[in-house]
Homo-oligomer: A and B are copies of this chain.
Amino acid sequence: MPLVPSTTPQPRARRTQAERSAATRARLLDASIGCLIDYGYAGTTTLAVCKRAGVSNGSLLHHYGTRERLLGATLEAVYGRLRGEVVRRLEALPKGDDRIDALVDVLWSAFGAPEFKAILELWLAAASHADLSWSMWPEAQAFDEGNVPLAEALFPEVAARLPDFSTWISLIFQVVQGLGLVNATRPSNVETDALRARTLTLFKAVLRDAFKAEAAPC
């Protein structure tokens, strides 16, 4: 084994403590999300997360102290990613686009993603474990409360015209959430996929009709 120290730089370069921490934290959160998707809340054990992350058992506890705190951090992470993605894609929409179709599509890309199953698992866990109270998660609240402003920015004139605009936004979320729930929990097949596509198409038509400037009554 000849040593060639200076010419071949070590692949694992020298990292600061903060970088080391951040890296293992990210790996743990990724693994936690993956476990939630694959094995559910009960199956997301500390050992399973460690194994998937390639990190020692003690290290997980060093960073998060307890399983519950790890799962809280997981919820924050997965929400943050989803929200970031949604906001980014909505802001990137060209002005003239069919924004209603695009809004539904972007929301579906979030609620139809595998990560939504992780969110579902954590929602239910939080509903049972009182110590995982909903109020503990600012990212989740930001998502919930940021929707209407986001939609108002997309459709300023519709928001001004329709008095129940925020109710319409709620309706949109219910539809996408309902589809996401089915998508996450039922085995997908050709039929269900087709029905979902038709449902989204129909709903877009309903929205277009509701959001368009009222035709003069004849």
The answer to whether A134 and B178 have CB atoms under 8 Å apart is no
The answer to whether B121 and A202 have CB atoms under 8 Å apart is no
Q: Which of A12-20, A25-33, A79-87, A165-173 contacts B (4 or more CB under 8 A)?
A: A165-173
Contact with B along A148-179 (1 / 0, CB 8 A): 00000000000000001011101101111111
The answer to whether A128 and B198 have CB atoms under 8 Å apart is no
Dominant SS at the A interface? helix
Contacts of A167 in B (CB 8 A): 195, 198-199, 202
Contact with B along A169-208 (1 / 0, CB 8 A): 0110111111101101111000000011011001100100
Contacts of A134 in B (CB 8 A): 186-187
A210 to B176, CA, bound (A): 20
Does A125 belong to the interface (CB within 8 Å)? yes
Contacts of A178 in B (CB 8 A): 173-178, 181
A134 to B192, CA, bound (A): 14
Q: Which of A34-42, A53-61, A89-97 contacts B (4 or more CB under 8 A)?
A: A34-42
Does A126 belong to the interface (CB within 8 Å)? yes
Binding site for B on A (CB under 8 A): 38-43, 117, 120-121, 123-129, 133-134, 164, 166-168, 170-171, 173-179, 181-182, 184-187, 195-196, 198-199, 202-203, 206, 210, 218
Q: Which 4 residue pairs are nearest across A and B when measured between Cβ atoms?
A: A174-B178, A40-B128, A218-B218, A178-B178
